[in-house]
């Protein structure tokens, strides 16, 4: 275990507890506001293919954004969790085409046929799940490592799509614990606004 991991675990615990305390009204309002703000991002407005995900539980909701992108003619790729926790992908065919993930965890996945893990390299923008982001753009994920593989795959392919994370207000922090393999995101979208970060942001 790295020296950074205990700090990440504690921050994850705090943020998940705060999300659990959100009012039902705030949790239901956020997805529509986030969708409107995200669609104003030039990186998403000009994208032909977007890799995204289906929000679950108290994650900031992605469903309205997925539908809006699809209705605008964008090819939306959604992740499929593999036995080794890597991610394959499938094309979003609408809410009715989502199904419970074979591996459970409350996840919803696109219907078959599924694409290979390398399909993400075709994305013009990537929407990442996250719990927080800091002033340099470093994202705190859930800790499963699936998206670390996605980001490493993009880098290995020489692909550098904009990386966007949807968060609640209060989850853009001065600093989050980070390790050498962590990569900064391009922007964080919250109900109150858009936060942008340099693509080559570095931590002090």
Q: For residue 156, give every residue at least 6 positions away whose Cβ sits within 8 Å of its Cβ, in sequence order, or none.
A: none
- Could you report the per-residue pLDDT of 72-128, keeping only the tens digit for each? 999 999 999 999 999 999 999 999 999 988 776 778 999 999 999 999 999 999 999
Which among 149, 144, 132 is positioned nearest to 185, based on CA atoms? 132
Structural domains of the chain ordered from first start? 5-196 (3.40.50.10420)
pLDDT of residue 3 exceeding 60, the answer is yes
CA distance 161 to 49: 10
* Range 64-75 average pLDDT: 97
Which contacts qualify for 99-103: CB closer than 8 Å, 24 or more apart? none
Q: Give the pLDDT mean for 12-29.
A: 93
Q: Is the pLDDT of residue 199 over 60?
A: no
Q: Give first-to-last CA distance, the chain, whole Å.
A: 22
Average pLDDT in the chain: 91
3-state secondary structure of 130: coil
Binding residues for substrate: 54, 59
Please state the residue numbers annotated as binding site for ATP: 8-12, 139-147
Residue 200 banded pLDDT, cuts 50, 70, 90: very low
Residue 35 CA to residue 184 CA, distance in Å, equals 22
Please report the pLDDT score of residue 138 as a whole number. 95
In angstroms, the CA 48 to CA 30 distance is 25
Annotated binding site: 8-12, 54, 59, 139-147
Instruction: Please write the tens of the pLDDT for every residue from 148-197.
Output: 999 999 999 999 999 999 999 999 999 999 888 888 999 999 999 999 99
């Amino acid at each position: 275990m790295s020296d950074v991991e205990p700090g990440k675990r504690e921050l994850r615990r705090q943020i998940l507890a705060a999300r659990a305390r959100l009012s039902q009204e705030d949790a239901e309002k956020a997805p529509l506001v986030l969708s409107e703000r995200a669609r104003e991002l030039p990186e998403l407005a000009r994208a032909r293919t977007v890799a995204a995900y289906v929000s679950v539980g108290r994650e900031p909701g992605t469903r309205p954004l997925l539908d809006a992108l699809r209705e605008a003619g964008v090819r939306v790729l959604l992740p499929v969790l593999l036995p080794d926790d890597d991610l394959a992908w499938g094309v979003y065919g609408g809410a009715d085409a989502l199904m419970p993930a074979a591996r459970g965890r409350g996840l919803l996945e696109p219907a078959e046929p599924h694409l290979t893990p390398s399909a993400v390299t075709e994305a013009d923008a990537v929407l990442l799940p996250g719990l927080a982001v800091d002033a340099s753009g470093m994202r705190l994920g859930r800790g499963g490592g699936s998206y670390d593989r996605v980001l490493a795959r993009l880098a290995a392919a020489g692909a550098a799509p904009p990386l966007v994370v949807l968060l609640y207000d209060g989850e853009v922090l001065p600093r989050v614990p980070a390790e050498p393999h962590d990569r900064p995101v391009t922007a964080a979208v919250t109900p109150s606004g858009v936060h942008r970060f340099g693509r080559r942001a570095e931590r002090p």
